[in-house]
Amino acid sequence: MIQLENIHLKLEGPAGAVNILRGIDLSVAEGETVSIIGPSGSGKTTMLMVIAGLEKASAGDVRVNNIDLNTLDEDGLAVFRRDTMGIVFQNFHLVPTMSALENVAIPFEFAGRADAFEQAREGLEAVGLGHRVDHYPGQLSGGEQQRVALARGFAAKPKLLLADEPTGNLDQETSDAVIDLLFSLTEKYKTTLLLITHDAIIGKRCDREVRISDGQVLNGAVT
């Protein structure tokens, strides 16, 4: 499902070039759940952005679902993301002026689906928010907002879900509930999961742990 080979990413900063990723190799099989663990600034989120085609590697090969991302232009990458993956962020990334239903419908509307809102409602019911479809993000708790984000991430039943610290802004009880829901939906839809977390307990729920430090994989790069 995911194949990274010798990925480098160098970004220009005020003090000069910074090597964010330094020769990353990673292989994730279809249907596998993998946690990415490492200290802040280690390159975890940047690697996820490369896998999503939201950041372009300076060097190396990126293949996701047998597609070479280096061959796609921006339009091609947008279609690839729409058809292949869901993404869940720590800060929810919900549109504040749109209801929960409208937020979850976004992927379906991009795909031109006539049943966008019907599918979105089904997704919200799957995360226990069928009674909150007309509420706006500001009217929802942090846990409810992240459940909306999960509903949107799983909306199109993606082959791959990328989750970047999905419980980072939640209290322990809410975090546990959201993680239980994440793994339940992953199993239900047979989704490949790449989960960035700072929580070792959450990480151990995955099939495999990959540890990253200073832009390099320390262990667990391959199955």
- Whether the pLDDT of residue 221 is over 80: the answer is no
pLDDT one-digit tens code per residue, 31-47: 999 999 998 889 999 99
- Across the chain, what does the average pLDDT equal? 92
Q: Is the pLDDT of residue 185 over 70?
A: yes
What range defines the domain where residue 122 resides? Answer: 2-219
The whole-angstrom separation of Cα 153 and Cα 85 is: 8
Strand partners, 13: 16
* Reported confidence tier of residue 222, pLDDT bands at 50, 70, 90: low
Per residue in 99-132, pLDDT tens? 999 999 998 888 888 899 999 999 999 999 999 9
- C-beta atoms surrounding 13 within 10 Å: 9
Question: If you average pLDDT over residues 170-188, what whole number do you get?
Answer: 91
* pLDDT class of 155 with cuts at 50, 70, 90: confident
Contact criterion met (CB below 8 Å) for 7 and 23: yes
% of the chain at pLDDT higher than 70: 98
- The token duo for 169 is 């802004």
Domains: count for the chain: 1
Single-letter code of the amino acid located at 170: L
pLDDT at 17: 83
Q: Which amino acid is at 78?
A: A
Greater model confidence, 90 or 9: 9
Query: Which SS3 state, helix, strand or coil, does residue 12 take?
Result: strand
Q: Check which CATH number belongs to the domain holding 75 and give it.
A: 3.40.50.300
pLDDT at 110: 82
**What pLDDT is recorded for position 167?**
87
